[in-house]
Amino acid sequence: MSVMELRVVTTEVSSTNQDGYRQRRVSRRVFQQDADAEPEPMGCIEFIATAASILLFIITFPISLCLSFKVVQEYERAVIFRLGRLRKGGARGPGIFFILPCIDTYCKVDLRTVSFDVPPQEVLSKDSVTVCVDAVIYYRVREPLAAVVNVNNYSHSTRLLAATTLRNVLGTRNLAEILSEREAISHTMQTALDEATDPWGVKVERVEMKDVRLPLQLQRAMAAEAEAAREARAKVIAAEGEMKASRALKEASDVIAESPAALQLRYLQTLNTISAEKNSTIIFPLPLDIVTPFLGSLTKK
């Protein structure tokens, strides 16, 4: 029986992120068969165990068919070990595959995208403000062999690494950046997690920050600051409105002063507006003809 030699192929790609730091992404493809490697010879105990397993399969036939043939779904892969060694050919599936009873064991790996919530983490920001942040992570298994062989429990390890990365990334940002630059922080976390989980055969597809909870006293201080800013802006707007209204009244008075008839029309319009009210009585103290000479003298002055 030939044994597959494990070889790691590493490709380095340099890039620059949004913060100006130079990053190096390492892409690994593991568990490739070396065609030049000589197969390791089968030991005596392995040969006897394999022969006994085949004999047991023949003796218990056809009952042994139920134990030897396994099926994996389209979204699953099976990693098979024979006497503790990884079998040649890589992961099996989708479909049916054959194992020898007693000496073969297999592990199913789900290739679908999995999401999990990062528990709320209390983080001390760069400007010494304690915030509580939680996030959601989306990942999938890209290399089934690496996910089984290189790490004990890839799901649990990814969850722990996500919580640690969340605290580390937020610790380098101040409060204003945490509140306003969520997309950039999520992208930084995704890049860091993807690079760290690449040897495990795990691909981190997306990271989203769900909620940022601030201390109650800080919320009150920020609310008071926002309210003061709104009041100041409202006063400025009101003052600008008064200034514009004063300019408009001055221009209107200049227009009316140029024409005495316009002043009389404005006087009549005002009387009309007052008479529109219910139960109102209007008394003209003097006829308009008597007031006209006085209006002329006012305009000359």
Average pLDDT in the 252-269 region? 71
10, exposed or middle or buried, with CB in 10 Å at 0-12, 13-18, 19+? exposed
Pick 270 or 5 by higher pLDDT.
270
**Rounded Cα–Cα distance for residues 90 and 146 (Å):** 10
**In DSSP terms, which residues pair with 29 in a beta bridge?**
9
Q: State phi, psi for 129 to the nearest 5 degrees.
A: -115, 130
**Rounded Cα–Cα distance for residues 161 and 155 (Å):** 10
**Rounded Cα–Cα distance for residues 254 and 222 (Å):** 48
Strand duo 9-16 + 22-29: pairing: antiparallel
Q: Is 30 a residue whose pLDDT tops 60?
A: no
Q: What is the pLDDT of residue 2?
A: 36
Q: Is 21 a residue whose pLDDT tops 50?
A: no
Q: Is 14 a residue whose pLDDT tops 50?
A: no
**In DSSP terms, which residues pair with 115 in a beta bridge?**
138
**Rounded Cα–Cα distance for residues 112 and 202 (Å):** 11
Q: What is the pLDDT of residue 113?
A: 92
Pick 126 or 2 by higher pLDDT.
126
